[in-house]
Amino acid sequence: MRLTLEEDHFYPDLVFYNRLLRCFVIIDLKIGKVTHQDIGQMQMYVNYYDREIKQDDENPTVGILLSTNRNKTVVKYTLPEDNKTIFSTEYKLHMPTEQELINAVEEEKKNFELNEY
C-alpha cells in the first residue's frame, strides 16, 4: 500500500487488519541491523494509520519491524518507555531444528516461572 504525504511516497511492506484485535497491523521487513530511521519510519506509518485510516471504534495500529539483526539498544532508546504499539524482533532465514525449538520453549518456561514470583 502506498502512503503519499505531500509529494513523497512511502511503501510499508505489509498491511493487515486483525479482526479479533480490531486494529491495523503494519509489518516492515529489513535486512541487516535495525536503525533509528527504520523505527522512525514505522512510527510514521502507525501515526498515519491512527490519524487518517482507523475509525474511532477501532484499537490503535500495531507496527512490527522484522529484521535479520535487531539492535536491542537502538530499539530501547528510540521508542518511548510506555510504547505499546511498535515491536521489533529478529527473523531467521531458516527453520530451527526440533531440538532448537524444544530448547527455546524450555528457556521461555524458565523465564516465565522466574518472573511469576
pLDDT in tens, 35-89: 899 999 999 999 999 999 999 999 999 999 988 887 788 888 888 888 888 888 7
Q: Is 71 helix (H, G, I), strand (E, B) or coil?
A: coil
DSSP at 95:
P
Q: What is the CATH number of the domain that holds 44?
A: 3.40.1350.10
Domain assignment present for 75: yes
Q: Is 6 helix (H, G, I), strand (E, B) or coil?
A: coil
pLDDT range class, residue 92, cuts 50, 70, 90: low
Range of the domain at 79: 3-92
Task: Quote the CA–CA distance of 86 and 84 in Å, as a whole number.
Answer: 6
Domain assignment present for 42: yes
Domain assignment present for 28: yes
pLDDT of residue 75: 84
Domain count, the chain: 1
Is-above-0.75 flag for pTM?
Answer: no
Domain assignment present for 60: yes
Number of helices (H), then strands (E), in the chain: 3, 6
pLDDT of residue 117: 54
- Using a 10 angstrom Cβ sphere, with 0-12 exposed, 13-18 middle and 19 or more buried, the burial of residue 45 is buried
